[in-house]
Amino acid sequence: MATRSADPKSVQGTQSIDAVSLAIIEQLQEDGRRPYAAIGKAVGLSEAAVRQRVQKLLDQGVMQIVAVTDPLTVGFRRQAMVGINVEGDLDPVADALTAMDEVEYVVVTAGSFDLLIEIVCEDDDHLLETINKRIRTLPGVRSTESFVYLKLRKQTYTWGTR
């Protein structure tokens, strides 16, 4: 394991994560099913201590442990990034988008778009219905620009904790 500085990282401005917790996160990013005993050995803690720290990180919303799929293999043949420009307050539009099952993430941005979202749909008809009937009709949405994915070349969540 690489040596880390003793400086804790601030999370969401209110919490700090120490070097051991960061190392646990890295272990889980490499393999989300890694046994707590193996993680403990790698970071110098007991299995019970790792279990407690992982639960605390989950409870605090610092991380999630999920199965990541290739959408094509589970029946979702169309993905797109959608740039959205909004008139007025962004929050109601972002909240409405967040509530949609098709929307995988919502990002408030600075630049050409106010919001960027990723949507995952079953097919082109589903994509059209989602954009045209649900997103473009939201109060405050001024315009959208869609970037349809032709091929997924890389999707990873193993960037570590730097």
The tens-digit pLDDT sequence of the chain (162 residues) is 344 444 555 444 446 789 999 999 999 988 999 999 999 999 999 999 999 999 999 999 999 998 878 787 888 899 999 999 999 999 999 999 999 999 999 999 999 999 999 999 999 999 999 999 999 999 999 999 999 998 888 877 776 666
Q: What letter represents residue 50's amino acid? A: V
- Compute CA distances 28 → 3, 17, 24, 35, 160, whole Å: 18, 15, 6, 9, 9
Q: CATH assignment of 71-148?
A: 3.30.70.920
Q: Which residues of 34-49 are buried (b: 16+ CB within 10 A; e: fewer)?
A: eebeebbebbebeeeb
Given this model, what pLDDT does residue 2 score? 41
User: What are the extents of the domains in the chain?
Assistant: 19-60, 71-148
Question: 19-60 — its CATH code?
Answer: 1.10.10.10
Beta-carbon neighbour count of residue 134 at 10 Å?
Answer: 15
The pLDDT, as a whole number, for residue 71 is 80
pLDDT, position 75: 84
Give the per-residue pLDDT at 6. Answer: 45
Instruction: Kindly tell me the burial class for residue 80, based on how many C-beta atoms sit within 10 Å of its own C-beta (0-12, 13-18, 19 or more).
Output: middle
pLDDT at 139: 98
* Full-model pTM: 0.74
User: What is the pLDDT, as a whole number, of residue 3?
Assistant: 40
Contacts of 86 (CB under 8 A, 6+ apart): 93, 114, 115, 140, 141, 142
